Amino acid sequence: MEAPASFEGDERVRLFCALRLPPETVERIVAWQSDELAGASGGRIVPAEHLHVTLAFLGHRPAAELDGIIRVLREVAAGAARPRLTLRGYRETRSVAMLAFDDEDGRAAALADDLQARLEALGVYERERRRWLAHVTVLRFRRRPRLRPALPELEPFVPSDAAAYLSRLRPGGAHYEVLETVRVGGN
């Protein structure tokens, strides 16, 4: 894939790679957000089209690196076992609320680890110190609301694809654009 025509080679773009959620999982999370999180004072619910499981957040990178990043994502996804994620619980950090998931057989973690290692070898990524956690961010806030919502009724799910995303920062929050999706291997 060539960098989109709207990018100049030396332009810096904000990028991340993530697993996409099946439509029925997104629908259930959105309904739960409406029921359980809508009243969070000062919180901003993450919209349906932004729900995902981040594999690697690259931050601002030169647009010229996009081809290599997508090539690595394709290679890793093609060779990965498809992960199966099961809801574990709700948690809050200082700026976001998330649904955390158990990762059957560590497949999602293995995919994330392989992707991060190859992106690091490419010179476009630096690993975070904390261990990777399968999670979906569902609410953003400036002040932690300390909610204790009932959990959504989610069946375990298997993401069938991953994507490279462009993240554009805007006054109302980041806006994500899928640059390319790749199938996650079927084994």
d(C-alpha 172, C-alpha 153), whole Å: 29
- Evaluated on CA atoms 119, 120, 124, 129, the torsion sign reads positive
Longest dimension (CA), the chain: 47
Residues 78-109 as b/e (b if ≥16 CB within 10 A, e otherwise) read eebbbbbbebeebebeeebbbbebebeeebbb
CA 180 to chain CA centroid, Å, is 14
3-state secondary structure of 78: helix
Which two structure tokens, joined as six digits, stand for 123?
């010179």
Place of tokens 């009724």: 153
d(C-alpha 172, C-alpha 175), whole Å: 9
| Angle (nearest 5°) at CA 75 between 72 and 78 | 145
pLDDT of the chain along its 187 residues, tens only?
344 446 665 789 999 999 999 999 999 999 999 999 988 888 899 999 999 999 999 999 999 999 999 999 999 999 999 999 999 999 999 999 999 999 999 999 999 999 999 999 999 999 999 999 999 999 999 899 999 999 999 999 999 899 999 999 888 888 999 999 999 985 5
Phi, psi of 97 (to 5 degrees): -110, 145
Are 43 and 145 in contact by the 8 Å Cβ rule? The answer is yes
Q: Which of 20, 156, 31, 1 is nearest to 88 (CA)?
A: 156
d(C-alpha 53, C-alpha 114), whole Å: 15
User: 173-186, pLDDT tens digit by residue?
Assistant: 889 999 999 999 85
